[in-house]
């Protein structure tokens, strides 16, 4: 890539590492591009956040391609992952410890598959309290960490497909195709509640955003400085 290529705009498909925030990835790429190409400043942004405990496709745009972020972000997304159905955590994932446990003795494979149908289509979803959504000027996770309680309004989302691909209780693997704004953590929690057990994510991977696929990801831009210095 040349300086002109960077300024004219690039789209980077990144396989986000576990425990990195989406902001970490953007910052790393911005720093690498500035140092490598001797740029005073360069616009860099991502097209849809992934939680720290999630991996998979993160689309990062730079230069003039940042104007396409909203368009990319609006496309349907595909996720695979694992839900643990005998407990809950405050964050609906592995970022926090289990706070309640449940028996799964009453669950059958038929019931698990049948319950997915309740979530297909346009539904109301309440985002997790531990999320970056703003309420009265504060991030929800800031409110949660302060121990405050707050009512969170549901959002309209769409689940196009929700398939269970493996059952080995208390764990179930799934694949979901959904609209922008869907919280898979909330889906895991709500799914467990509908089954009268707990539910939280133990693994999550985003495999597609529109026609962009994880299999085409290239993380070399995260190591750009090291590569050019060798």
Residues 6 or more apart in contact with residue 208 via CB below 8 angstroms = 57, 77, 78, 214
Q: Nearest 5 degrees, angle CA 196-CA 161-CA 54?
A: 75
The domain 3-74+212-222 having CATH identifier 3.30.2350.10: the answer here is yes
pTM of the model: 0.90
Q: Collapsing DSSP states into helix, strand and coil, what is residue 58? A: strand
Q: Is the torsion defined by CA of 83, 86, 89, 95 positive or negative?
A: negative
Note whether 192 and 200 are within 8 A (CB): yes
Domain parsing of the chain, residue ranges? 3-74+212-222, 77-209
Q: The domain 77-209 belongs to what CATH superfamily?
A: Pseudouridine synthase (3.30.2350.10)
Q: How many CB atoms lie within 10 A of CB 60?
A: 25
Among 126, 121, 123, smallest CA distance to 160 is for 121
Other C-beta atoms closer than 10 Å to the C-beta of 109 total 11
pLDDT of the chain along its 230 residues, tens only?
A: 888 899 899 999 999 999 999 999 999 999 999 999 999 999 999 999 999 999 999 999 999 999 999 999 999 999 999 999 999 999 999 999 999 999 999 999 999 999 999 999 999 998 887 665 655 656 565 655 656 666 678 999 999 999 999 999 999 999 999 999 999 999 999 999 999 999 999 999 999 999 999 999 999 999 876 444 44
Do 3-74+212-222 and 77-209 show the same overall fold? yes
Given the residues 51, 86, 93, 190, the one annotated as active site: 51
51 noted as active-site residue:
yes
DSSP 196: T
């Amino acid at each position: 890539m040349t300086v002109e290529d960077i300024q004219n705009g690039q789209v980077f498909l990144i396989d986000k590492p576990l425990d990195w925030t989406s902001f970490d990835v953007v910052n790393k790429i911005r720093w690498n591009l500035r140092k490598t190409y001797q740029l005073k400043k360069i616009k860099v942004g991502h097209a849809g956040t992934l939680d720290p405990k999630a991996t998979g496709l993160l689309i990062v745009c730079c230069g003039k391609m940042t104007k396409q972020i909203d368009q990319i972000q609006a496309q349907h997304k595909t996720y695979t992952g694992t839900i643990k159905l005998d407990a809950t955590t405050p964050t609906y994932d592995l970022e926090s410890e289990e706070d309640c446990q449940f028996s799964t003795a009453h669950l059958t494979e038929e019931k698990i598959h049948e319950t997915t149908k309740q979530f297909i289509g346009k539904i109301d979803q309440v985002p997790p309290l531990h999320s970056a959504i703003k309420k009265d000027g504060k991030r929800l996770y800031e409110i949660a960490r302060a121990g405050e309680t707050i009512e969170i309004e549901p959002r309209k989302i769409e689940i196009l497909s929700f398939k269970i691909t493996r059952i080995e209780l208390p764990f179930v693997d799934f694949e979901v195709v959904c609209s922008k704004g869907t919280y898979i953590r909330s889906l895991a929690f709500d799914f467990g509640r509908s089954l009268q057990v707990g539910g939280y994510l133990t693994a999550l991977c985003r495999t597609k955003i529109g026609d962009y696929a994880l299999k085409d990801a290239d993380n070399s831009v995260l190591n750009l400085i090291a590569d050019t210095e060798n």
